[in-house]
Amino acid sequence: MKKTIITFVKLSLLIAMLSSLFPWHKLLNQDFESKLRIYYITYNLMFLTIITSITWFLSLKFKKDYIK
């Protein structure tokens, strides 16, 4: 259990570091509709990442309970 939490934290830190390397400031200098599109894509990716991590965590938990 502790190992899965540590790997989850490492993965989220890796995603945060990779997203900080992405040149967001160049994309944000565009017009308003492009900004909205970028924000929409970003929030969708964040939402999918959160949902995937929750389902992954729950599947590991239920798998462990099922094996016992």
Q: In whole angstroms, what is the distance from residue 1 CA to residue 7 CA?
A: 10
* pLDDT-based confidence at residue 48 (cuts at 50, 70, 90): confident
Domain ranges of the chain: 2-67
Task: Give the mean pLDDT of the chain.
Answer: 72
DSSP for 42-57 reads HHHHHHHHHHHHHHHH
* pLDDT-based confidence at residue 28 (cuts at 50, 70, 90): low
